[in-house]
């Protein structure tokens, strides 16, 4: 979650903070189980409808929700998917968080409500929104990924933790962990990193001195040139972090919506992504407005752009739409809004077609953020040339 404050002695400056979590965080574990199930359903039936949640606590996982499919998964198949995900994340025993082979997994899946289905399937290939919702998309030129700097930099640390664990370069690391990066912003520009908080689960055999030394070296390796001279580093600030995962803290699908998106920098409508098929605009429209915002910034129309849409269940097109460039636009926001409306289709069918959202592509999105990864189709800057041409640039 992002926070802002004015540090002592830094007149006109503010501190902006965002966090990231590792793939072994209990909430992320649940996100990955949910999206692995979505992928398995779509691989067998591209038109499957699903809203699948997972909850984890101690050595137990509960998978529940609603599914409508011509070829649904059995409870046995769902259990096997959940165990595979837990194992791939890196958990090995109940003592460190959860045991992929022996943990209890309960499955409660019901059919999707026909009341919802009749509002989504409108005939002639047209789809109504699968739910009401307010959705925001943000892009900023602070980073090459067009994401806020603390989001990118905190994620860089959690990705580095995962890689160091998987390649064995830090052999005592375990899957759970968090990173938090605070940047100093002066007159709207990021000066550098003011503080870093890094918490990493580890084996009991690692000494406090070793943990501090290796993790501080990791921070400096990943972010060294970005750290301000007086930057503060907080490494495992509670001390030991041996017990992690669902044994230390319960997990739930959809509870890391700020981590999944913009780190709390920018607004969020509240709808989670994981476990949902693309008729749910919480997911598909979030990808679509991010795509539009990315192309507005890539076209050079603004340094920062936030686009919002709102839907009514069963209605094809958004019932509300707005653009805000926070005073950074090179053309009026009203003109940008006209261009976005002309060049982007925000109907559910249009968004599904544009990004190929009936494919099993979602497990990857649940791991390390839904935005900023070039391989995701909503990150393409393919419409920017047409936007520039429309204003004679």
Check whether residue 18 and residue 64 sit in a common domain: no
**What gap in Å lies between CA 148 and CA 267, rounded to an integer?**
13
Check whether residue 9 and residue 41 sit in a common domain: no
Considering the domain boundaries, does residue 157 fall inside one? yes
Phi, psi dihedral angles at 345 (to 5 degrees): -100, 120
Q: What is the mean pLDDT of residues 38-63?
A: 97
For residue 192, give the nearest of 215, 226, 168 by alpha carbon.
226
Considering the domain boundaries, does residue 64 fall inside one? yes
CB 249 within 8 A of CB 131: no
Using the 3D structure, point to which of 203, 220, 247 is the last residue of a domain.
Answer: 247
Considering the domain boundaries, does residue 346 fall inside one? no
Q: What is the residue-averaged pLDDT of the chain?
A: 93
Give residue 153's domain range: 3-24+148-247
Of the ranges 112-116, 121-125, 306-310, the best mean pLDDT one: 306-310
Considering the domain boundaries, does residue 231 fall inside one? yes
Considering the domain boundaries, does residue 289 fall inside one? no
Domain count, the chain: 2
Quick one: pLDDT at residue 10? 43
Residue 127 pLDDT level (bands cut at 50, 70, 90): confident
Residue 266 pLDDT level (bands cut at 50, 70, 90): confident
Q: What does the chain come to in residues?
A: 393
Q: What is the DSSP string of 336-379?
A: HHHHHHHH---SHHHHHHHHTTTSS--TGGGTS-SSS-TTSGGG
CB 148 within 8 A of CB 3: no
**What gap in Å lies between CA 366 and CA 30, rounded to an integer?**
9
Check whether residue 176 and residue 88 sit in a common domain: no
For residue 145, give the nearest of 374, 383, 376, 375 by alpha carbon.
374
Check whether residue 50 and residue 12 sit in a common domain: no
Burial class (CB in 10 A: 0-12, 13-18, 19+), 391: middle
Check whether residue 161 and residue 97 sit in a common domain: no
Mutual angle of helices 333-343 and 281-298, in 10-degree steps: 120
| DSSP assignment letter at 134 | E
Considering the domain boundaries, does residue 98 fall inside one? yes
Check whether residue 158 and residue 20 sit in a common domain: yes
Check whether residue 153 and residue 219 sit in a common domain: yes
pLDDT tens digits, 226-260: 999 999 999 999 889 999 999 999 999 999 999 99
Residue 188 pLDDT level (bands cut at 50, 70, 90): confident
Quick one: pLDDT at residue 6? 40
**What gap in Å lies between CA 21 and CA 13, rounded to an integer?**
27
Map residue 183 onto helix, strand or coil: strand
Please tell me the number of Cα atoms within 13 Å of 136 on its side-chain side: 19
Check whether residue 220 and residue 182 sit in a common domain: yes
Q: In which element (H, E) is residue 44 found?
A: helix 26-44
Q: What is the mean pLDDT of residues 339-349?
A: 95
Q: What is the mean pLDDT of residues 185-207?
A: 96
Residue 281 token pair = 């605009």
CB 26 within 8 A of CB 60: no
Check whether residue 68 and residue 10 sit in a common domain: no
**What gap in Å lies between CA 109 and CA 82, rounded to an integer?**
14
CATH code of the domain in which 189 resides: 3.30.300.10
Using the 3D structure, point to which of 203, 230, 247 is the last residue of a domain.
Answer: 247
Check whether residue 159 and residue 241 sit in a common domain: yes
Please enumerate in sequence order all residues whose Cβ is within 8 A of that of 102, keeping only pairs 6 or more positions apart, or say none.
59, 94
Using the 3D structure, point to which of 62, 94, 112 is the last residue of a domain.
Answer: 112
Count of CB atoms within 10 A of residue 208's CB? 12
CB 22 within 8 A of CB 161: yes
CB 143 within 8 A of CB 149: yes
For residue 72, give the nearest of 106, 52, 44, 114 by alpha carbon.
44
Quick one: pLDDT at residue 316? 83
Check whether residue 96 and residue 36 sit in a common domain: yes
Considering the domain boundaries, does residue 40 fall inside one? yes
Considering the domain boundaries, does residue 165 fall inside one? yes
Check whether residue 84 and residue 32 sit in a common domain: yes
Strand ranges (E), the chain: 3-5, 13-21, 49-57, 60-68, 104-111, 121-123, 126-127, 133-140, 173-186, 189-202, 227-235, 251-252, 304-311, 320-324
């Amino acid at each position: 979650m992002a926070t802002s404050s004015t540090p002592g002695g830094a007149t006109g400056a503010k501190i902006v903070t965002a966090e990231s979590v590792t793939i072994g965080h209990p909430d992320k574990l649940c996100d990955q189980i949910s999206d692995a199930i979505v992928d398995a359903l779509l691989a067998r039936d591209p038109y499957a409808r699903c809203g699948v949640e997972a909850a984890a606590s101690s050595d137990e996982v509960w998978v529940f929700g609603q599914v409508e499919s011509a070829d649904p998964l059995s409870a046995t198949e769902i259990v096997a998917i959940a165990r595979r995900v837990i194992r791939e994340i890196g958990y090995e025993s109940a003592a460190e968080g959860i045991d992929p082979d022996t943990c209890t997994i309960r499955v409660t899946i019901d059919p999707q409500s026909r009341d919802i289905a009749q509002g989504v399937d409108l005939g002639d290939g047209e789809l109504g929104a699968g739910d009401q919702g307010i959705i925001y998309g943000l892009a900023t030129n602070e980073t090459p990924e067009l994401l806020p700097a603390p989001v990118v930099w905190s994620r860089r640390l959690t990705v580095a933790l995962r890689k160091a664990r998987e390649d064995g370069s830090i052999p005592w690391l375990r899957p759970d962990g968090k990173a938090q990066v605070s940047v100093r912003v002066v007159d709207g520009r990021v000066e550098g990193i003011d503080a870093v908080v890094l918490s990493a689960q580890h084996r009991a055999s690692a000494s406090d001195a070793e943990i501090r030394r290796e993790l501080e070296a990791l921070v400096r390796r990943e972010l060294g040139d970005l750290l301000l001279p007086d930057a503060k580093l907080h490494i495992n600030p509670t001390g030991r972090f041996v017990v992690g995962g669902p044994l230390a803290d319960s997990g739930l699908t959809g509870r890391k919506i700020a981590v999944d998106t913009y780190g709390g920098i920018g607004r969020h409508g509240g709808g989670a992504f994981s476990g949902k098929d693309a008729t749910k605009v919480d997911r598909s429209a979030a990808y679509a407005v991010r795509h539009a915002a990315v192309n507005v910034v890539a076209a050079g129309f603004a340094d920062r752009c936030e686009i919002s849409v709102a839907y009514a269940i069963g209605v094809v097109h958004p019932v509300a739409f707005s653009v805000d460039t926070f005073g950074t636009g090179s053309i009026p926001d009203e003109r940008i809004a006209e261009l976005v409306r002309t060049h982007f289709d925000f109907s559910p069918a249009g968004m599904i077609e544009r990004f190929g959202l009936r494919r099993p592509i979602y497990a990857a999105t649940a791991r390390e953020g839904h935005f900023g990864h070039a391989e995701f189709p909503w990150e393409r800057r393919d419409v920017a040339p047409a936007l520039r041409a429309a204003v004679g640039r």
